[in-house]
Structure 1
Amino acid sequence: MLLFLALPIIFLYLYYELHYRRFRKYANFPQLKSSLVWGHLQTLRQVHKDRDRVDGDIDPVFGDLMEQAGNPPVLFIDFWPLNEPMLLIRNHDVAEQVSKQSQLWPYSLPKSPSFKEYLPLVGDHSLIWESGHHWKTLRKLFNPGFAPKHLMTLLSVVLDKTKIFVQILDEHAAKADVFDLSSPCTNLTFDIIGAVTMDEDLHAQDPNALQNDFIQNYKRFAATYRDDGSPSLLPSLSVRWERRRLGQALDTFLGDVVRRKFDLYKADSNTTSRSVLALSLRDINVLTQPIMERRSCGEEVVGQLKYTSAVIKEVLRLHPPAATARYSPPATGFHLVLPDGSRVCADDLMLYNCNYLIHRDPQVYGETKDDFVPERWLDASAADPQASTKFGNGHIPPSSWRPFERGPRNCIGQELANIEAKVILVVLVGRYDFVKQGLGSPILGGNGDPLLDAKGRHITESDVYNSRQITAQPVDGMRVRAIRRTM
């Protein structure tokens, strides 16, 4: 009898708690109409469905939600019970507050608990995941190996691996076949990272040898994170088992490499290895000075590639590979200042710096926010004249370009990525023309040349779009035909 009488009280309590969570707890944030039961999940699903790209990256969908809400600087999205509620951030000033250090967070906010899904891939004690003093210790350990001047001493390594890449593309050009450009690019990246970080040849590009188990397992592992657009509370049991199995195999391989290199460096006190691993295992003073004194002219040459750098910056502006999600625990007292001067408490929220939207802010990039304009990065006068006068003379604030994120926890490998991109572009641009096939293929005119729109862009039958597989990647693997240029 008492239980029967208690049921209405329990129901009313649960209803009150749910109503408070949905409609009152975060009422001070801009948001779309919410459902008592589903929060914003139904709205998100409908917008995703309207795009007709179930396997597409979620960031453009967030952009549609922002437009529906009138493009506020931040937007509250309630994912509960699938995930913690999120504050979607499209304003660069607010994003900077999330990523920079503060009195509350000397090394900036820690990563969101939602990142735990990726721990089987990156490791429980990864630099990406760790926070506080432990993160600082790891960052300090790896900083020397990723220092820009040190990386320039490894330019010859990048060039050697790029030569193999060119040979592979030459073969495709000779056959005039259609292939996924992402595959040889990924293999090249594996080879460069293996050589630079571990002084290890992974043979990822070797056509005469089966790729080693490490690369095959890593690719299989990454494939388990491909977003198919279907929301779920947890990965399936089979997926979790596969991740565990592959993770153990990767750990075994990397552990063997570290032990082997450690024994080698300790046995040979005269080693000149400049890999990140070598610098982490040895006293940097033993390895640095002789090599730095033999620097080639590579740094000066790469530094002169101003337009190439502008092209890379513009590509990363329009197609940032990733973003960051941070979290301030309940009762921490972390506040954000919005552009109108109001202060809001951001505790117990996933704080998502959506770089896809930040990089397309019309107040910064004006009417050309969706256009490919490398010249905007060459000098202030080349910036879009329609950009907001708030920054003066079309100036682009540094915080509005953040593909590698900013603050203490910015990407430690960004300089390596830039060097790699510059070398590859310089080698390829004068050697090949790439013609898109399948999605995004150009419509040809009567003379066989691609038709152009008013902005000089190819008119295509369909659009290429990004999918999410840990990072944003072309959904079709960028299917192209390579044509060797005649000099």
Structure 2
Amino acid sequence: MLIVLDPDMMYQLTQANQIPKDKGIRKFLRPLTGEKDLVTLEGPEWKHWRSRFNPGFSSAHILTLVPGMVEETIIFKNILSKHAESGDILHLEEASLNLTIDIIGRAVMDHSFHSQTRYNEMTASLRNQLLWCTTGLNANPLEYFNIFRPFVHLFNSWKMNRYLVKELDTRYTSLQANGSDKNNLGKSVIDLALAAYVDETPSATGINTTFKDFAISQIKLFVFAGHDTTSAAAVFTYHLLSQNPAVLAKVREEHDHIFGDGSSSVGDVISSNPALLNRLVFTLAVIKESLRIYPTVAALRDGQFGFFLQDENGRKFPTENCLVWGDHYAVHHNPYVWPRPEDFLPERWMVSEGHPLYPPKNAWRPFEKGPRNCIGQELALTEVKVMLAMTIREFKITDAYTAFDLIKGNPIGANVNGQRAYMMLRGGGHPADHYPCKVAYT
């Protein structure tokens, strides 16, 4: 393994060159997407399918999806209210995961999974599938010999595909029925891709197998990646705000200024004018700083014969036969790269170039950079802004690790670098113990 901690060398790895994704990522995603997804595809095939789905993730298009996000976030608010009234411990990550999976369903398919309120076969099967996926880098060798794993993968895949094929066929039939008036179908990511497919194959009587397989693989990828990392980003943002009351006060002040004093009506305000979210300059700085402190993914590439990484002194590092790991967490906390790296300083995202706190070039990488960057980063940032705008003035969220540790008989509790809410690996990076917290009205 070759671990990369320098932003310039990260640039060489992911932006200046197109080095293939690591085999471990392929192995992890194979039971979910069959390696027909935008993460594991390479070359012209990746380029073709990326161009198919890019329009659905553009900044302008994401704003058209905001009313659906608001509707799902209202359910999340109701859940917070119930826990504020009961005073019991809420595992915020679980509530956040269910919210973000419902939002991504609306964004990708114009379809609500209703995960926040009831059981859903598709999302339950996807989350179960992830528990049984492996990268091939497991510390416990017994995990390689689980005889049930292939059968669980097959059963979960069958349930997911059955659900998604039915939904995809329904949307295709609706699109054909509308003829040239495709605006009546909807503006989800899949709707846009289907509209492009119909334009290219006007005489087709159905969706061909190639498009259907790839579309279903992307839906599963988007649902997985879109809810997993976004949920963690939201939880860590709530946590950092609870630890920094002065920053929290500034966020609330900005929301009062943009949306008015009535926090209960903010959903209606946002739905009627989604562009207001673009005015949340300080809130966006808070989210970006949270993603710097808690980046939830890393860059993993397969080293290649003849490909070297070069440092500032001209030294060359061969990558052949190496897993090359661009460690975002280490880069984001490197004191040689970032001034005061352990401090939560949203203002570093608002200063001008030349200021001591100005973010170094190529050093902020939570969504990766370059052509293979995360296609859903604008959607993720918008989701977190909507969540904060609709909750942060009405609720006070504080971690309940002390009470949780006592309940489970561990009065000391583990911590990493002094943080009980440390990040642990479950696919992406997630808060320890699913972030037990207490919710109260402000």
What TM-score, normalized to structure 2? 0.75
CA distance in 2, matches of 1:284, 1:205: 32
2:351/2:357 contact within 8 Å kept: no
Match of 2:422 in 1: 465
Q: Cα–Cα, structure 1 residues 169 and 355, in superposed 2: closer, same or farther, change >3 Å? A: same
Unpaired runs of 5+ residues, structure 1, are: 1-85, 103-107, 287-294, 382-390, 443-459
Q: 1:222 Cα shift? A: 2.1
CA distance in 2, matches of 1:462, 1:139: 38
1:360 corresponds to which of 327, 333, 356: 333
Query: What do the CA deviations read for 1:183-232 (whole angstroms, capped 9, x no partner)?
Result: 111111111111110011211122xxx31111211221222348997333
Match of 2:45 in 1: 134
2:274 corresponds to which of 284, 298, 310: 298
Query: What do the CA deviations read for 1:268-290 (whole angstroms, capped 9, x no partner)?
Result: 2224210000000103999xxxx
Q: Which amino acid aligns with 1:246?
A: N
1:440/1:462 contact within 8 Å kept: no
Aligned pairs for 1:389-400 (under 5 A) are 393-400=356-363
1:315 corresponds to which of 284, 290, 309: 290
2:282/2:346 contact within 8 Å kept: yes
1:257 corresponds to which of 163, 167, 173: 167
RMSD of aligned Cα (Å): 2.7
Q: 1:351 Cα shift? A: 1.1
Q: Secondary structure at the match of 1:326?
A: strand
Query: What do the CA deviations read for 1:314-341 (whole angstroms, capped 9, x no partner)?
Result: 1111111111201144x3x212111222
Aligned pairs for 1:426-465 (under 5 A) are 426-438=389-401, 463-465=420-422
Q: Secondary structure at the match of 2:108?
A: helix
Runs of 4+ in 1 over 6 A off after TM superposition: 226-229
2:102/2:112 contact within 8 Å kept: yes
Match of 1:370 in 2: 342
Q: Which moved further from structure 2: 236-245 or 119-128?
A: 236-245
2:31/2:133 contact within 8 Å kept: no
CA distance in 2, matches of 1:96, 1:316: 19
Match of 1:162 in 2: 73
Q: 1:408 Cα shift? A: 0.3
What TM-score, normalized to structure 1? 0.68
Match of 2:87 in 1: 176
Q: Secondary structure at the match of 2:338?
A: helix
Q: Does 1:234 align with 2:234?
A: no
CA distance in 2, matches of 1:481, 1:285: 50
Query: What do the CA deviations read for 1:157-185 (whole angstroms, capped 9, x no partner)?
Result: 11111111111111111111111111111
CA distance in 2, matches of 1:135, 1:345: 26
CA distance in 1, matches of 2:134, 2:21: 21
Q: Which amino acid aligns with 1:370?
A: E
Q: Which amino acid aligns with 2:334?
A: D
Q: Cα–Cα, structure 1 residues 285 and 172, in superposed 2: closer, same or farther, change >3 Å? A: same
1:217 corresponds to which of 119, 125, 131: 125
Q: Alignment length, in residue pairs?
A: 355
CA distance in 2, matches of 1:313, 1:394: 14
Q: Cα–Cα, structure 1 residues 230 and 337, in superposed 2: closer, same or farther, change >3 Å? A: closer
Q: Cα–Cα, structure 1 residues 250 and 95, in superposed 2: closer, same or farther, change >3 Å? A: same
Match of 1:53 in 2: none
Q: 1:125 Cα shift? A: 0.6
Unpaired runs of 5+ residues, structure 2, are: 200-270, 406-416
2:3/2:327 contact within 8 Å kept: yes
2:109/2:190 contact within 8 Å kept: yes
Q: Secondary structure at the match of 2:191?
A: helix
Q: Which amino acid aligns with 2:359?
A: I
Q: Secondary structure at the match of 2:398?
A: strand
Aligned pairs for 1:316-335 (under 5 A) are 316-329=291-304, 331=305, 333-335=306-308
CA distance in 2, matches of 1:239, 1:181: 29
CA distance in 2, matches of 1:125, 1:479: 36
Q: Which amino acid aligns with 2:75?
A: I
Instruction: Please state which structure has a larger fraction of its residues in helix.
Output: 2
Q: Which moved further from structure 2: 245-254 or 131-140?
A: 245-254
Q: 1:260 Cα shift? A: 1.7
Q: Secondary structure at the match of 1:400?
A: coil
Q: Secondary structure at the match of 1:282?
A: helix
Q: 1:475 Cα shift? A: 2.1
Query: What do the CA deviations read for 1:231-270 (whole angstroms, capped 9, x no partner)?
Result: 3373622233322321222122222221221111111222
Q: Does 1:151 align with 2:62?
A: yes
CA distance in 2, matches of 1:417, 1:357: 22
Q: Which amino acid aligns with 2:154?
A: R
Q: Cα–Cα, structure 1 residues 370 and 484, in superposed 2: closer, same or farther, change >3 Å? A: same
Query: What do the CA deviations read for 1:345-392 (whole angstroms, capped 9, x no partner)?
Result: 3222211110000101112222x21121111111138xxxxxxxxx77
Q: 1:436 Cα shift? A: 1.3
Match of 1:91 in 2: 6
Q: Cα–Cα, structure 1 residues 179 and 88, in superposed 2: closer, same or farther, change >3 Å? A: same
CA distance in 2, matches of 1:131, 1:268: 35
Match of 1:276 in 2: 189
Higher-RCO chain (CA-CA 8 Å, sequence separation at least 6) = 2
2:404/2:436 contact within 8 Å kept: no
Match of 2:413 in 1: none
Match of 2:226 in 1: none
Identity among equivalent pairs (%): 28
1:439/1:462 contact within 8 Å kept: no
1:101/1:109 contact within 8 Å kept: no
CA distance in 1, matches of 2:293, 2:352: 19
CA distance in 2, matches of 1:394, 1:312: 17
